């Protein structure tokens, strides 16, 4: 909006300036000069001022549309976290950097049962709750995003704190109260973790995903390491 305000202000400034000039000279020059020189001058300046305002308004509209599409392309609308595309992009950036990094694949336990029991609105609220919890406890060197469905990814630079971060997530989700329409609903997550070696990020994901399924087979609400 500031661009439009500046454009409008500039247009008003030019228009008033041209009008004052027109009034000032109206009595000091002969009518032919006034009509043939100053009136066209006033009209051209007024047109230029209007074009400046119109261009500023169009620029503002296109800028807002660009920001909106950029936001939608990288942000998950339900949780407000980075979406699958942005999270995989972050993984690729770390892979290309050559630095050590860790991937946690986090899955909400019994999510289908929650949806069937309490409804999809409760499921959506549960995903937002988990997303906010992960965002709150994500370490400064970490990056958390929603991969899809009830699955989240947490990417961490380095590997030294991997076990502690993963265990903290399981404990925090287990002990953080989630309420929907006045009813407390227990929530837990299972996590598969993998430290990236000299391998593509897709291979790291496959190892972490396999560890996640091992955690689920062994009773859920726990971490398994690849």
The predicted-structure confidence for 159-203, as pLDDT tens digits, reads as follows: 877 889 999 999 999 999 899 999 999 999 999 999 998 888 999
State the pLDDT confidence band at 210, using cuts at 50, 70 and 90.
very high
DSSP 34: I
Model confidence band, residue 67 (pLDDT cutoffs 50, 70, 90): very low
Q: 150 pLDDT exceeds 90? A: yes
**Phi and psi of 141, rounded to 5°?**
-85, 5
Which residue blocks in the chain are alpha helix, DSSP H? 2-26, 31-33, 39-74, 84-97, 111-118, 120-137, 162-175, 201-217
pLDDT digits (tens, 9 = 90+) for 95-137: 888 888 999 999 999 999 999 999 999 999 999 999 999 999 9
Q: Rounded CA gap, 108 and 106, in Å? A: 7
Strand arrangement of the beta sheet that strand 151-157 belongs to: 142-148, 151-157, 101-108, 189-195, 223-225
Say if strands 142-148 and 151-157 run parallel, antiparallel, or are unpaired. antiparallel
**How confident is the model at residue 161, as a pLDDT?**
78
**Mean predicted confidence (pLDDT) in 82-96:** 89
> Active-site residue 150, yes or no?
yes
Annotated active-site residue in 150, 151, 206, 214: 150
pLDDT of residue 195: 93
Contact 4, 46 (CB under 8 A): no
> Residue 193 forms beta bridges with which residues?
104, 225
11-28, pLDDT tens digit by residue? Answer: 565 666 666 565 655 556
What is the pTM (predicted TM-score) of this model?
0.70
> In whole angstroms, what is the distance from residue 111 CA to residue 117 CA?
10
Contact 108, 130 (CB under 8 A): yes
For the beta carbon of residue 31, count every other beta carbon within 10 angstroms: 8
């Amino acid at each position: 909006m500031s661009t439009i305000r500046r454009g409008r202000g500039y247009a008003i400034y030019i228009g008033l300036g041209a009008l004052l000039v027109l009034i000032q000279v109206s009595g000091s020059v002969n009518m032919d000069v006034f009509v043939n020189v100053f009136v066209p001058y006033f009209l051209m300046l007024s047109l230029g001022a209007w074009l400046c305002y119109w261009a500023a308004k169009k620029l503002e509209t296109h800028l807002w549309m660009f920001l909106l599409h950029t936001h939608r392309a990288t942000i998950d609308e339900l949780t407000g976290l980075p979406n699958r595309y942005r999270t995989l992009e972050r993984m690729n950036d770390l892979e290309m950097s050559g630095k050590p990094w860790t991937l946690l694949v986090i899955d909400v336990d019994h999510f289908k049962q929650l949806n069937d029991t309490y409804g999809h609105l409760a499921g959506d609220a549960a995903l937002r709750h988990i997303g906010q919890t992960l965002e709150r406890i994500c370490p400064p060197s970490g990056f958390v995003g929603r991969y899809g469905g009830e699955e989240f990814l947490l990417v961490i630079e380095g590997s030294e704190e991997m076990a502690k971060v993963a265990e903290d997530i399981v404990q925090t989700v287990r002990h953080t109260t989630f309420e929907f329409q006045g009813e407390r609903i227990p929530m837990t997550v299972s996590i598969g973790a993998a430290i990236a070696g000299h391998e593509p990020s897709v291979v790291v994901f496959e190892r972490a995903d396999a560890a996640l399924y091992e955690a689920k087979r062994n009773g859920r609400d726990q971490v398994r390491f690849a």
